[in-house]
Structure 1
Amino acid sequence: MVTGVASRVWEVLKGVPDPEIPVVSVVDLGIVRGVEPHRVTITPTYTGCPATLAIEASIRAALDAAGYREVAVETVLSPSWTTGWITPEGHAKLHAYGIAPPSLAATATCPQCASTDTEEVSRFGSTPCKALWRCRACAEPFDRFKCH
Structure 2
Amino acid sequence: MTLTPMTDPDLAERAAWAVLRDVTDPEIPVLTLEDLGVIRAVAVDAQAHAAHVTITPTYSGCPAMQTMEIDIRDRLLRAGFKTVEVETVLSPAWTTDWLSETGREKLRDYGIAPPARGQGTGKAVLMGHDPVVACPQCGSEDTKPISEFGSTACKALYRCNSCLEPFDYFKCI
User: Is TM more than 0.5 here?
Assistant: yes
2:100 paired with 1:75: no
Aligned to 1:8: 15
Aligned: 1:96 with 2:109: yes
* Partners of 1:47 and 1:77 within 8 A in 2: yes
Instruction: Name the CA distance, whole Å, in 2 between partners of 1:109 and 1:84.
Output: 17
Q: % of aligned pairs identical?
A: 54
How many equivalent residue pairs? 147
Counterpart position of 2:65: 52
Q: Secondary structure at the match of 1:143?
A: strand
In the alignment, which residue of structure 2 is the partner of 1:125?
150
Return the alpha-carbon distance in structure 2 between the equivalents of residues 52 and 8 of structure 1: 23
**Structure-2-length-normalised TM-score:** 0.81
Please point out which of 105, 111, 125 is paired with 2:136: 111
* AA matched with 2:166: P
Report SS of the residue matched to 2:156. Answer: strand
Question: Rg larger in 1 or in 2?
Answer: 2
> Alignment partner for residue 27 of structure 2, among 20, 33, 51?
20
Unaligned regions of 5+ residues in structure 2, if any?
A: 1-8, 45-50, 120-129
Residue by residue, what CA displacement relative to the aligned partner does 1:5-34 show, whole Å, maximum 9, x if unpaired?
A: 111111111100000000000110010000
Query: Would the aligned equivalents of 1:107 and 1:119 in 2 still touch at CA under 8 Å?
Result: no
1:75-111 C-alpha deviation (Å, 9 max, x unpaired) = 1111111111111111111111110001238221111
Deviation at 1:69, TM superposition (A): 3.0
Which residue is 2:5 aligned to? none
Q: Confirm or deny: 8 A CA contact 1:63 1:71 kept in the other structure.
A: yes
Q: TM-score by structure 1 length?
A: 0.94
Structure 1, unaligned runs of 5 or more: none
* Local SS of the residue matching 1:3: helix
